[in-house]
Amino acid sequence: MSKYSLVKRTIVAFSFLAIVIALSSLGSGCSAGSAPNLDTGFDGSWTGEVKAPIPEMSPVSVVNLKLQQTGKSTLTYENPRSCVLTVKFLKNDGDNGREYSITESTSGFCDKLLLGKLSLRKQGDNSLSCELTSLDDKSSTKISEKGTLHRPGK
C-alpha cells in the first residue's frame, strides 16, 4: 500500500465523519446552547410607564424593557429610581402572555422587586401590558406596578 493511498483514505474517512456529525446535529433541531422556542413577537425594545394601583403609593415610572431570546433581558427604571432589573424567561402564559423571574438588580428600588416576577401580555403587535410584582407576600410591603409598554416610535 502506498503512502499516498493511506493519506487519501484518511482524508475521505474524516470527511465522511464530518458530514455524519453535521447531518445529525441538523436533524435533531437543537444543541446544548440553544434557546427555548419562543414567540419572537415579544423580543426587542419596549418603553412605557408603570405605576402602583394607588398613585399616592408610588409615582409613575418610565421603564425601558429589552427582551432577547438569547442573552440578558433587562428592564430599566429611568429617573428618579435609576436602576436595572435582569429578567429570565419562565414560561408562556397562554397564547399572548409570558412570565419572567426577576433574577438580578443593580440596587435601590429594584432590590425590592428581586426574585419577584414580570408578567407581559400582548395587546396587538406594538403594545404590551406589563405587571411587576415583588416576592413579598405581606400586603403592606408587597409591590405591584402595572402599565403599558410600546415599541419605540410606534
Residue-wise pLDDT tens digits, 73-126:
999 999 989 999 999 999 988 778 999 999 999 999 999 999 999 999 999 889
Q: Helix, strand or coil for residue 57?
A: helix
Element (H, E) at 15: helix 3-28
Nine cell digits for residue 88:
429570565
12 pLDDT higher than 90: no
Q: Give the pTM.
A: 0.70
- Residue pair 82/108 in contact (Cβ under 8 Å)? The answer is yes
State which amino acid sits at residue 1: M
